[in-house]
Structure 1
Amino acid sequence: MGLLELFVIAVGLSMDAFAVSICKGLSVRELKPKHALTVGVYFGGFQMLMPLIGFALGVRFQSFITSIDHWIAFVLLGLIGANMIRESREQDEENLSDSFSFGAMLPLAVATSIDALAVGVTFAFLQVSILPAVCFIGATTFILSCIGIRIGHVFGLKYKSRAELFGGAVLILMGTKILLEHLGVLG
């Protein structure tokens, strides 16, 4: 997997965290650097942790399913992407308080990084070098989360659904590309 592909996956995965960061930015009366640092550390940290867990699971069971790994990658990325697109169409506003406590941030960090768990499994099948990959994903999510909280604070909720729509489309396209490469359609 090349750097460009990894970057596209990292951005796609970070879109949930980016969208939630925008919402968190909406809830802050006075934005402080510690707010951006908090969302960046939680979201970026979990975007690093979850693919590691998924990778470990994928490596453990790799020998059983190597013949269908490209289909697994296609289905997982497709489902994750479709779910993100569906969520981008929902009109109900999330009830995000202005709390940045452990109890408020942990569930958000876990929820926004579940997709990364599945991507970690996919990385195991594709034999991706996991440590550089998860560091890159974590750093990308950290940066985009910090940017997201600022955007939310300045511009409001109108970008949330676009970010999720973009992220979902990117993941679906990456899954399709992986499938087509393994089927020999793309070189």
Structure 2
Amino acid sequence: MSWIENLLIIAGISLDIFGAVECQGSLVKKINKVHLAIICGLVTLWQLAALFVGHFLSDWIYIRTSEQSEMFLGHAIAIVIFFGLGIRLMVKAVKNERIEEHCETNLGFKRFVRMVAVTSLYTLLTGVAFGLLGTSFLGLVAFIILFSVVVVVAGMYTGYHYGFEFKNKAYVIGAVLLWIAGVDVTVRCVMDIL
């Protein structure tokens, strides 16, 4: 896969984190920069670990060989993962779960650990898809680090200044990016067969 395709996929899954952090940012009285840095580190490490485990699982589940049927199966699984994650984000956007905004002096790390644990499951699936498509894990590390930090900081400040109203737009954009990736993989798979 090209770096642009990898960028779109990582951006798509990262927008889920943006929405979750935006909701938390809407609750804080003041953004604590040290707290924000720790959250950035936590999210980044957890995302890297989930992507690595997913990539490892793809090698364990599916050994890439030159057989066309196994390559097709790997591409089909990756396509299902990308479309499925896109559908999940779109459902979150449509549900538009409201949160009760109230001022909190300290959000604590417990809620961020729970949030990151849930979102990392989807990053794990994305790691499986990347592995099945033959994407190098090391090529993805910079994207995960960059997007994890950017979406946490942007989500926190967006929530702090504007509330949680932009989360639905982030979910829709994330879904569209993942669907674009799914269509791209489908087209490449069909072209390989022909």
Q: Do the structures match in fold with TM over 0.5? A: yes
1:176 paired to 2:186: no
1:134 paired to 2:141: yes
Tell me: CA distance 1:137–1:8, structure 2 relative to 1, closer, same or farther (3 Å).
same
What's the counterpart of residue 67 of structure 2?
Answer: none
TM-score calculated relative to the size of structure 1: 0.90
Q: What is the CA–CA distance in structure 2 between the aligned matches of 1:102 and 1:66, rounded to whole Å?
A: 42
After superposition, the C-alpha distances for 1:119-150 in whole angstroms (9 at most, x for unaligned) are 11111111111023034213212112111101
Q: Could you tell me whether the CA contact under 8 Å between 2:28 and 2:107 is conserved in 1? A: no
Q: What is the CA–CA distance in structure 2 between the aligned matches of 1:107 and 1:179, rounded to whole Å?
A: 34
Shift of 1:102: 3.6
1:70 to 64, 69, 75: 75
Q: What is the CA–CA distance in structure 1 between the aligned matches of 2:44 and 2:165, rounded to whole Å?
A: 23
Structure 2 unaligned residues grouped into runs of 5+: 65-69
The number of residue pairs the alignment matches comes to: 187
Larger Rg: 1 or 2?
2
Shift of 1:103: 2.2
What's the counterpart of residue 12 of structure 1?
Answer: 12
Shift of 1:39: 2.8
Q: What is the CA–CA distance in structure 1 between the aligned matches of 2:44 and 2:51, rounded to whole Å?
A: 12
Give the letter aligned to residue 88 of structure 1: A
Q: What is the CA–CA distance in structure 1 between the aligned matches of 2:34 and 2:98, rounded to whole Å?
A: 24
Higher helix share: 1
After the TM superposition, which residues 139-150 of structure 1 pair with which residues of structure 2 at under 5 Å, given as runs? 139-150=146-157
TM-score calculated relative to the size of structure 2: 0.87
Q: What is the CA–CA distance in structure 1 between the aligned matches of 2:141 and 2:110, rounded to whole Å?
A: 25
Tell me: CA distance 1:157–1:92, structure 2 relative to 1, closer, same or farther (3 Å).
same
Using the aligned pairs only, state the percent identity.
22
Q: What is the CA–CA distance in structure 2 between the aligned matches of 1:96 and 1:70, rounded to whole Å?
A: 43
After superposition, the C-alpha distances for 1:51-81 in whole angstroms (9 at most, x for unaligned) are 1111111001213843311111111110111
Judge which range, 32-41 or 17-26, deviates more. Answer: 32-41
What's the counterpart of residue 96 of structure 2?
Answer: 91
Q: Is the partner of 1:172 in helix, strand or coil?
A: helix
What's the counterpart of residue 30 of structure 1?
Answer: 30
Shift of 1:105: 1.6
Judge which range, 62-71 or 5-14, deviates more. Answer: 62-71
RMSD: 2.3
Tell me: CA distance 1:102–1:153, structure 2 relative to 1, closer, same or farther (3 Å).
closer
Q: What is the CA–CA distance in structure 1 between the aligned matches of 2:71 and 2:188, rounded to whole Å?
A: 15
Judge which range, 137-146 or 172-181, deviates more. Answer: 137-146
